[in-house]
Amino acid sequence: MALFVWALPVAVTAAPFAAFVMDARTGKQIYAQNADTRLHPASLTKMMTLYMAFNAIERGQVRLDSKFLVSSHAASQPPSRLGLKPGQKIELRYLIRAAAVKSANDAATVIGEGLAGSEPKFAAQMTQMARALGMQNTQFRNANGLTTPGHYSTARDMTTLGRRLFYDFPQYYSIFSRRSADAGVAKVSSTNRRFLDGYEGADGIKTGYTRAAGFNLTASAKRGSKRIVATVLGGQSTAHRNAVMAQLLDAGFGKAPTRVREVKPEPPQFVAQKKVRRTVQVARSATAAPAPIVQLSSSDRPVARASTVAVVTPAAISAAVSKAQASAPASTASPGSTLDASARPIRKPGTGRVARVDVTAPALESAPRPEARPEEGDRSDAELAPAGARPVPAPRDDKSAGLEPTEPAGSPSLFVASVEPQAESMTLLASAAPPQRSETIILTSLKPEEGDERLATEIVTRDGSTGRNWGVSLGLYRSQREAEQLLLRTALQESGSLDSALSRVATTRRGYEANFVGMSRETAELTCNRLAVRQQSCKVIGP
């Protein structure tokens, strides 16, 4: 349903206005006006303070006769107050009565400090509970609702909280309908008794007022099988707030169906995080064949040396080849055959280069270390391996990384494999196992979310004079109340055509003119055409 600005004389409006009407049986919206605008909730905050107290009692954290200590901070809260003194101890039942009936700020602060240890911690818990109840545009900074930066809520969220009080704690809900109560140190009277006495079926819930917030009220009423919950924020006086609330509840009872399936709210949905232990393991495929190991059958494995070319003497070559020939099977090659025509195998990626070392050179043992070679793609295969030379098998894995096979004695040249160390590939296998992580399930901290500070936005008054400059006039009326009632009735009946129009009552010498403004020309003409069908006088007004 579209949102509408309530018909208030602009010159005397104390604060931004918002309203929301809900069918308590289903939680469905009936009427909304600036319902998600973040405004000062004032003492409507105490509804959450009391919700937290009821929840603590039901969980066994405290009892109604538990005594709470009054701090100097709580005792110094401004009116409305019960008159508590620092160091005094008072039962929780009396604090609940004083906060719910009289809206005592000192009593609400004592409740918060007694349940959480300090008011800031309690405010953080209140905000966390609000999120669990689905109140996405609410943030609390104290337990009583006094104006504080970053402390805000909306008409929709406060209505949601009022419904939750009725359904979640029906055993305590009657406290909100009391006209007076014994608060231990004094008998207190209800701040909501005028509305409770003046509206048929009303049984709660809570009033609120500060200069920044205006006159606020969340109310609940029952008629027959219907129950309506509504919130008004920013009323200009107690009488005006109560009158607007009565009209909203009347409209709600008129639009709510008589028979409907009751849908009770779900339990609070707290967010939980579970820490899962994860272990990183390196496993080889079960189907993969082991890599072949290239080594001399009877030779000892030499120690791998990083980035060097081994120096081999002719005597060592002869001894190694003799042992290899003695243990090798008989060759089928004819005498004098060579490997000049053999194909050069493809090197495996990551292996070192093959360097050619002339064994006939007289200074082989003192040969200098070769210069750094260019990348593999910079040289041809002919330059890397001359024709007629026997290729040397590349190392297959870490076990053969340091092996340097040689050619038989008498060959014109010797090829020695220089393999770069594969240190990086062995790092994971050699590293220690990661520390075990906890399986503990940790609930989200009740501290305010890190993003909450960014949510605290400046509260401003909307001005309907900007934007679209067309509107409609419904005529002049003798009293402001008559004009307001017509605008509300029309807003509920023509929500589709009015779109986001703003309603205003203009005071003139001839009477009170009921207007909808902030419309496009097409919307204004459409609205007048629809109202003409209802036999309602209407005139398009332009800029």
DSSP notation for 140-170: -SSSS----TT-BB-HHHHHHHHHHHHHH-T
In eight-state DSSP terms, residue 259 is S
Residue entry with tokens 């008011």: 119
Return the residue matching tokens 């081999």: 312
Question: How large is the C-alpha radius of gyration of the chain?
Answer: 43
Q: Can you tell me the distance from the alpha carbon of 97 to that of 162, in angstroms, rounded to the nearest whole number?
A: 17
216 close to 230: Cβ distance less than 8 angstroms? no
Name the active-site residue from 46, 102, 206, 226.
Answer: 46
Question: Which residue among the candidates 80, 103, 473, 497 is catalytic per the annotation?
Answer: 103
**H or E stretch covering 247:** helix 238-255
46 catalytic per annotation = yes
Answer yes or no: 298 catalytic: no
- Do β-strands 512-519 and 441-443 pair in parallel, antiparallel, or remain unpaired? unpaired
46 phi, psi to nearest 5 deg: -65, -15
From 43, 71, 190, 220, the catalytic residue: 43
By C-alpha distance, which of 474, 464, 478, 482 is closest to 519? Answer: 464
Q: Which of 103, 55, 95, 51 is nearest to 71 (CA)?
A: 95
Closest C-alpha among 76, 94, 96, 95 to residue 85: 76
* Residues identified as active-site: 43, 46, 103
